[in-house]
Structure 1
Amino acid sequence: MIERRTVFKAALAGGGAVVLAACSGGEGGDAQPNPDQIPPKAVLSAEPPVDAKDVPVTTPVTVRVAEGTLTEVRLTNPDGAEVKGELNAEKTAWTSAEPLGYGRSYTYAAKATGTDGRPVELTGSFATVKPAKEVRATLNPIDDAEVGVGMPISVKFGEPISDRAAAERALTVETSTPVEGSWAWLSDRQADWRPREYWPAGTKVTVTAKLYGVHYGGGKYGKADVTTEFRIGRNQVVKVHTPDHVMRVYRDGSEYKRYPCSNGKDADPNLNTPNGTLIVMTKEPTSIFDNARYGYTDVEKKWCCRISNHGEYIHENEENRANIGKANTSHGCINLLEVDAKDYFDSALIGDPVEITGSKADMPTTSDVMDWLLDWETWKSKSAL
């Protein structure tokens, strides 16, 4: 804990040592103070104080003077480089304008002139906190991305975070149109933000994660700030009611296209295309599918849109042509004819919602992209704030 006290060294105009007040007297008169022994009126102080240890790197450094004005303030790092700062209009306070570095010593050199015209100085140093580990974070979507109306914002940390509230307080979301949303921790390494309802089409989003200097607990600190700006595209939602063998695509709430499909086997819940609202996670022109348990490896399919980390895709399967639009015979994926798979692939954005109903099984909430599988109240309960 930083000791809240003020230490300064004052250089008197005459350069003499500070002593207890002394008096001199003349003949028949009262004793008079010696002007050289009266302390200057100006008082310099600094925050953090001289000799402070474990100083936070993002808290502004301030130097102030009472009963005077500042004439010079220099705060230097161990390399001799000056920290940027600004004086207020009255020249009574100087405040640093950039973050400090971890595990470094900084030196004060400040001067002021008091209302009595006498100079004072402040010198000394303090040391910043040295993390046990600096933790990097990443943000998704990336800058300039155009994504679907179901796209969550995801912050992933390189280490488990114990003080989630501290990390979450450093995260802000700004939108070009008002959008209700909330952060939720999906694991001790991941916090996602999603809107209560799908994003309004065309919304511009700015995310700022001011994580540098944030203490995550256990001596772990944020390594750097991260930001992203992205845009929500048109409103496109896929709906599949598995018994119908039809994949419907909606634009702005109206049916836009429909494709015959074959979904996961109805008789085996382990092979169902599970119920739930998912999103398009990746778009892969070709993908390799392996499932030794069911007797296939290195099977290549085209125009593949991953919709879960549980193994489900929307993709072409000409080998299953006889059942497409007629029967559910896949191992969980949504099978389309090649021409339809290509047509849908070309229209899809990462983050487009895919709503699946009618199956015997529900999508498990074990994926790191399970945002729309939780109702709103459950989602909000996962916030650390």
Structure 2
Amino acid sequence: MGEKRSRRVPMALLAAGIVAVLGLTACTSSGDEDAATNGKPDSTQSPSGQAAPKPPAKITVEPASGAADVSPSAPIRVTVADGTIQQLTLTNQTGKQVAGNLSPDGTTWTLGEPLGYSKTYTWAGTAKGTDGKTAPISGSFTTVTPTRTVDASLNVGDGKTYGVAMPIAITFDRDVTDKAGVQKMLTVNTSVPVEGSWAWLSDRQVHWRPKDYWPPNTQVSLVAKLYGTSLGDGRYGAEDRTANFTIGRSQVVRANTQTHRLQVFVNNQMTADFPASFGLESDPGRVTNSGTHVVMSKHDTYSMSNPKYHYENVVVPWAVRISNNGEFIHGYAPSIPDQGKRNVSHGCANLSPANAKIYFDSAMTGDPVEIAGSTNQLGPEDGDYYDWAVPWDQWLAKSA
């Protein structure tokens, strides 16, 4: 047998072969990869090549389960992330189901009716996560128990039309101590931009008025979200209040106790110039106050009494109330000789019955009556509505 020789590969050729293999690996065509992956990384693949698990439903209940002293007007809802609500009920302690609304995508349930005070509410339902698993929705909360509920009244009403000086007044039947909290729940929207502000004129009364007279024909919407709102000292609002009304044409009365005239301006054009007699100036108790009054009401006839000045049940025609201190514009035939010449009334503006009827027919609640010339000024002691006697900077200071 011949000798068997081993076959040796030169080192230079071996090194070239390794480079060739490495080069082949580094330069592999991407066409093969694209064919396998469509050119997109597989987002569902974990580093090990396994599909990443889909997340379970994440359920948020508001208020949190076990919450107490919850305001009935607080956000009441259930939201689900990474899943949808399958079914859900909210019931009170007697088992009555509360109305609610499920969003079109099934991720949010919101309250559909007001809740009551001093009640316990319970959630029951399920959500399905993107992982395909069902999760329970549960929990309960209790609404606040007020020491008492407080009602409020408005001076404006739906569908009504008012003059350009009309303030909005909200009057509470108990004191409000959390004025800032209440004021946050009061909204005035207007069809045209109007600068205005709320002012607390007492612990029970808050007014809104514009800085200047309302623009004619403005549409106004008032929303007072008082139900569920704390008024302080454990008191809560009894009901929400709303009103949608219109500001009419501009009619302004300008009267002067020294010239003894009462003039009417409609849209800045004088439409009447009446002789008048105002309050007797020698008696401070009878002086007609200077300042911007507001028409409050109208009466075909009105019975007037003032025991201090020894008259009772004096019936006058075409009476237009311009403040709560007893001031009116009205007809009074006995003072016709003095009208346009002297002031002899007990504080009212006297016109002849015929002229009083002309003014009466044109007047609207909320019209301004600007009186000048007297020694007395309209003020807080005169009650509603002395709003326009307050300078704007002082009015702003009364906001909470």
- Deviation for aligned residue 1:171: 0.9
- Deviation for aligned residue 1:113: 2.8
Alignment partner of 2:125 out of 100, 110, 116 = 110
Moved more, 138-147 or 59-68: 59-68
Structure 1 residues 279 and 44: alpha-carbon distance in aligned structure 2, compared to 1, 3 A threshold: closer
Counterpart residue type for residue 206 of structure 1: S
Match of 1:349 in 2: 364
Counterpart residue type for residue 228 of structure 2: G
Alignment partner of 1:73 out of 76, 83, 88 = 88
How many residues align structurally? Answer: 345
Match of 1:270 in 2: 285
Structure 1 residues 300 and 129: alpha-carbon distance in aligned structure 2, compared to 1, 3 A threshold: same
Matched, 1:380 2:396: yes
What's the RMSD between the two structures over aligned residues?
1.7
Alignment partner of 2:155 out of 137, 140, 164 = 140
TM-score, normalised by the number of residues in structure 2: 0.82
Moved more, 68-77 or 91-100: 91-100
Cα distance in 2 between the residues matched to 1:257 and 1:66: 69
Identity %: 46
Preserved contact between residue 276 and residue 373 of structure 1 (Cα < 8 Å): yes
User: Which is greater in Rg?
Assistant: 2
Alignment partner of 1:207 out of 222, 228, 247 = 222
- Deviation for aligned residue 1:314: 0.6
Preserved contact between residue 141 and residue 230 of structure 1 (Cα < 8 Å): yes
Preserved contact between residue 88 and residue 137 of structure 2 (Cα < 8 Å): no
Counterpart residue type for residue 238 of structure 2: K
Match of 2:72 in 1: 57
Cα distance in 2 between the residues matched to 1:97 and 1:232: 33
Matched, 1:318 2:333: yes
Partner deviation per Cα, 1:174-214 (whole Å, 9 max, x = no partner) = 11111111111111111111111111111111111111110
Structure 1 residues 322 and 41: alpha-carbon distance in aligned structure 2, compared to 1, 3 A threshold: closer
Preserved contact between residue 186 and residue 368 of structure 1 (Cα < 8 Å): no
- Deviation for aligned residue 1:288: 1.2
Structure 1 residues 343 and 110: alpha-carbon distance in aligned structure 2, compared to 1, 3 A threshold: same
**Unaligned runs of at least 5 residues, structure 2:** 1-54
Equivalent position SS for 1:330: coil
- Deviation for aligned residue 1:90: 4.7
- Deviation for aligned residue 1:284: 1.0
Alignment partner of 2:242 out of 194, 208, 227 = 227
Preserved contact between residue 150 and residue 172 of structure 2 (Cα < 8 Å): yes
Equivalent position SS for 2:258: helix
Structure 1 residues 107 and 338: alpha-carbon distance in aligned structure 2, compared to 1, 3 A threshold: same
Alignment partner of 1:236 out of 251, 267, 270 = 251
Cα distance in 1 between the residues matched to 2:172 and 2:247: 24
- Deviation for aligned residue 1:165: 0.9
Matched, 1:371 2:368: no
Cα distance in 1 between the residues matched to 2:362 and 2:221: 25
Alignment partner of 2:261 out of 246, 253, 257 = 246
- Deviation for aligned residue 1:160: 0.7
- Deviation for aligned residue 1:45: 4.1
Matched, 1:150 2:150: no
Cα distance in 1 between the residues matched to 2:151 and 2:182: 12
Cα distance in 2 between the residues matched to 1:45 and 1:201: 49
Partner deviation per Cα, 1:289-339 (whole Å, 9 max, x = no partner) = 111221211111111011111111111111112211211111111011110
Equivalent position SS for 2:358: helix
- Deviation for aligned residue 1:248: 0.6
Alignment partner of 2:273 out of 242, 246, 258 = 258
TM-score, normalised by the number of residues in structure 1: 0.85
Structure 1 residues 245 and 41: alpha-carbon distance in aligned structure 2, compared to 1, 3 A threshold: closer
Cα distance in 2 between the residues matched to 1:284 and 1:227: 27
Matched, 1:168 2:183: yes
- Deviation for aligned residue 1:60: 2.2
Cα distance in 2 between the residues matched to 1:279 and 1:45: 53
Match of 2:196 in 1: 181
Match of 1:22 in 2: none
Match of 2:29 in 1: none
Matches within 5 A, 1:331-350: 331-350=346-365
Preserved contact between residue 60 and residue 99 of structure 1 (Cα < 8 Å): no
Cα distance in 2 between the residues matched to 1:300 and 1:292: 15
Structure 1 residues 217 and 320: alpha-carbon distance in aligned structure 2, compared to 1, 3 A threshold: same
Counterpart residue type for residue 272 of structure 1: V
Cα distance in 1 between the residues matched to 2:258 and 2:325: 21
